[in-house]
Amino acid sequence: VVLRNLLDNGYPGAIYPVNPEAEEILGIRVYPTIASLPDGVEVGVVLLPAQMTVPALQECVAKGMGHIVLSAGGFAEFDDRGGSIQRELSAIIKQTGVRVLGPNTSGHTSTPAQLTTSFFPLGKIRPGQLSYIAQTGNFATHTMKLILTSEHYGVARVIGLGNKIDVEESEALEYLGDDPQTHAILMYLESIDRPREFLHIASRVTRHKPVIMLKTGATDAGRQAAVAHTAALGTEDRLVDGLLRQAGVVRIHAYTHLVLLGRALSSAPLPRGNRVAVLAPSGAMLVSLADLCARLGLRLPDLEAQTLQRLEEHSGGFIRLRNPVDIWALTSKSGIKRAYEEGIDAVMDDPHVDAVAAVLMLSPDQENPSPEVLKQIVRAQPEKPLLLSFTGDRQSIEAFEAEAASLQLATFGEIEQPLEVLSVVARCRGAMDRPE
């Protein structure tokens, strides 16, 4: 699978499979042993059971390879025997200076280099401007597959840390902080090994790039699960919270948000602040979303007189106009299409508003708002995110979403998600703007 992935991604370098039993795999000549390889191989990917990893690493080092990916699990996270193998690996690293990713990793990906060492069948990986650092195999395996098949964004680098006996989060973050291909960094961690180092590096990176982290093991149940996963020893959660806040890293708590934020960061600008205008076709949605804004630390600013006047022009005059905006007020006079297009344009134009979240009500029985018109509004306000969600008829929603995707409009499946995402990216902006 690793070979297939390298071929699918058009890796331009030479590839040397090693296997004692095959002569050719996928048309590539196979070498019987590591020792029989030609000289000059730069990266070794070792896909062998834990107990065979130590001699393999030694042979790779002897062959002059400076960088090794150790994929197998079954080390400290599994049992004492695995823990002792892991200590042997650490000793080799210390003695030889070889750089190791893993063990217990699904590898890493670099779309600018057309390289992936993932052992999960991925096909061509879409390039993008986001990078993931993950103390788990997911982001190089099935979560990447989900991103490639469900999302429209791509990635620059993915670094699967695994049990991180050598390369760990601080070094990976430092690399991505300086990486011109990486505009935002999403992290999944179960432990932070060198908190002081991490604070030092993250404090610098977060001044010019959003850094968002899901740090799990926040509860006893989570900590126990983390030991079984990557042998991670969790820190008391309040300390983690304090460290991340000081470092300007924005903490999230749901796995799914690692993907939703990738979507938001790839298709919308960072807002200048946390002042949001909300539009929905329903008082109930507006009230529950107003509650949600308050919980998430988002503000619902009063709209300018001029904005209210623009909204009033379309209003049927039976619903009070304010932020959050009940789009229903505008529909009886102007119809759904114009109500949304004019309403969104008016609030996007308001200088008190940093970002707009709109719930579009779509139906086959009406003229629906046009993705192209909304895209024009977004183009006119390149510093304001417009995040969309939906209610109404499923087919109409899917038709809108397909067109929105081709225009790179940011859409979300649930009405809460645009606000959840905005609260995170507004905090990223706050970290970038914080005083020295």
Closer residue to a second copy (CB): 203 or 363: 363
Burial 124-156 (b: 16+ CB within 10 A, else e): ebeebbbbbbbbbbbbbbebbbebbeebbbbbb
Other Cβ atoms within 10 Å of 205 Cβ, number: 21
Question: CB of 32 within 8 A of CB of 20?
Answer: yes
CB of 107 to a second copy, least distance (A): 15
Q: Where are the alpha helices (DSSP H) in 117-219?
A: 142-150, 169-177, 195-205
CB of 365 to a second copy, least distance (A): 5
CB of 39 to a second copy, least distance (A): 33
Query: What 3-state class would DSSP assign to 134?
Result: strand
Closer residue to a second copy (CB): 98 or 189: 189
Closer residue to a second copy (CB): 113 or 146: 146
Closer residue to a second copy (CB): 37 or 417: 417
**C-alpha pair distances (Å), 191 with each of 17, 90, 229, 370, 398:** 34, 18, 11, 46, 40
Q: How far apart are CA 103 and CA 77, in angstroms?
A: 10
Closer residue to a second copy (CB): 61 or 218: 218
DSSP string, 5-53: HHHHTT--S----B-SS-SEETTEE-BSSSTTSPTT--EEEE-S-GGGH
Closer residue to a second copy (CB): 240 or 268: 240
CB of 60 to a second copy, least distance (A): 21
CB of 148 to a second copy, least distance (A): 8
**C-alpha pair distances (Å), 35 with each of 27, 30, 162, 346:** 21, 13, 27, 69
Closer residue to a second copy (CB): 256 or 408: 256
Q: Where are the extended beta strands (E) located within 227-324? A: 250-252, 276-280
Closer residue to a second copy (CB): 164 or 183: 164
Other Cβ atoms within 10 Å of 99 Cβ, number: 15
Closer residue to a second copy (CB): 65 or 368: 368
CB of 234 to a second copy, least distance (A): 9
Element holding 109 (H helix, E strand): strand 108-110
Dihedral of alpha carbons 306, 307, 308, 313, sign: positive
Other Cβ atoms within 10 Å of 233 Cβ, number: 12
Question: CB of 326 within 8 A of CB of 311?
Answer: no
Closer residue to a second copy (CB): 31 or 78: 78
CB of 337 to a second copy, least distance (A): 15
CB of 369 to a second copy, least distance (A): 14
CB of 112 to a second copy, least distance (A): 25
Q: How far apart are CA 271 and CA 44, in angstroms?
A: 42
Burial class (CB in 10 A: 0-12, 13-18, 19+), 184: buried
CB of 328 to a second copy, least distance (A): 8
Q: How far apart are CA 207 and CA 321, in angstroms?
A: 38
Q: How far apart are CA 194 and CA 192, in angstroms?
A: 6
